[in-house]
Structure 1
Amino acid sequence: MFRENNTNLTIGEHLIYQNLPDDILARINKLINWDPFQQILVSLHPSKVGRKAYNPVQMLKILIIQQIYGHSDPEMELMLKGNLFYRRFLGLSAIDPVPDYSTISRFRSDLKSLNLYRRCFEELKRQLAQKGFELRSGKIIDARLVKAARRPGKDDDASFIKKGKKTVYGYKDHIAIDVKNEFVSEFVCTPANVHDSQVLDELLEGEEASVFADKAYDKQELRRRCRKKGIFCGVLAKARRNRPLSARQKKRNRIFSRIRAKVERVFGIFSLHLQREKARYVGLFANEIHLFLTCFTYNLLNLAWQMKRKEEIIRKT
Structure 2
Amino acid sequence: MTQLGLDLDLTTKRTRKREFLDEMRRVVPWLKLIALIEPHYPTGRTGRPPFPIATMLHIHFMQQWFGLSDPAMEEALYDVPLYRDFAGLDGGMTHLPDESTILRFRHLLEAHGLAAQMLALVNEILVEKGLMLKTGSVVDATLIPAPSSTKNNSGTRDPEMRQTQKSGNWYFGMKAHIGVDAESGLVHTVVGTAANVHDITEAHALLHGQETDVYADAGYQGIEKRCETGAVRWHIAMRPGKRKKLDLSDRLDAIYDQIERLKAGVRAKVEHPFRVLKRQFAYTKTRYRGLMKNTAQITTLFALSNLWMARRALRKA
**Could you list the per-position Cα deviations for residues 98-145 of structure 1 after superposition, in whole angstroms to 9, with x for gaps in the alignment?**
311222123222212122221111111112222221242321110011
**Alignment-derived partner of residue 105 in structure 1:** 103
Give the aligned partner of residue 202 of structure 2: 199
**What's 1:164 paired with?**
167
1:164 to 1:145, Cα distance in 2 relative to 1, 3 A:
same
Alignment of 1:225-304 (within 5 A): 229=231, 231-238=232-239, 247=253, 248-304=255-311
Q: Unmatched 5+ residue regions in structure 2?
A: 1-8, 151-155, 247-251
**What secondary structure is seen at the aligned counterpart in 2 of 1:26?**
helix
Partner SS for 1:168: strand
Residue number in structure 2 paired with 1:187: 190
Cα distance in 2 for partners of 1:116, 1:27 equals: 23
Structure 1 residue 168, shift from structure 2 partner: 1.1
Q: Which residue of 1 aligns with 2:213?
A: 210
1:136 match? 134
Q: Secondary structure at the match of 2:310?
A: helix
Scaled by the length of structure 1, the TM-score of the pair is 0.79
Structure 2 CA distance, aligned partners of 1:222 and 1:92? 56
Q: TM-score, with normalisation over the residues of structure 2?
A: 0.79
Percent identity (aligned): 28
Alignment length, in residue pairs? 291
Contact 1:135–1:183 (CA under 8 A) maintained in structure 2: no
Which of 170, 173, 180 is 2:176 aligned to?
Answer: 173
> Does the C-alpha gap of structure 1 residues 164 and 62 become closer, same or farther in structure 2, counting only changes over 3 Å?
same
Question: How much has 1:206 moved relative to structure 2?
Answer: 0.9
1:124 aligns with 2:122: yes
Aligned match of 2:4:
none
The unaligned stretches of length 5 or more in structure 1 are: 1-15, 312-317
Structure 1 residue identity aligned to 2:105: F
Cα deviation, residue 47, structure 1: 4.8
1:291 alignment partner AA: I
| Cα offset, 1:167, TM superposition | 1.5
Q: d(CA) in 2 for partners of 1:78 and 1:218?
A: 49
Q: Whole-Å Cα distance in 2 between the matches of residues 240 and 23 of structure 1?
A: 45
Contact 1:67–1:275 (Cα < 8 Å) also in 2? no
1:61, 1:90 within 8 Å by CA — same for their partners in 2?
yes
Deviations 1:133-186 (A, max 9, x none): 124232111001111123375110001112232111110111122122221111
Structure 1 residue 282, shift from structure 2 partner: 1.5
Specify the code of the residue in structure 2 equivalent to 1:101. E
3-state SS of paired residue (1:256) = helix
Give the Å deviation of 1:89.
2.9
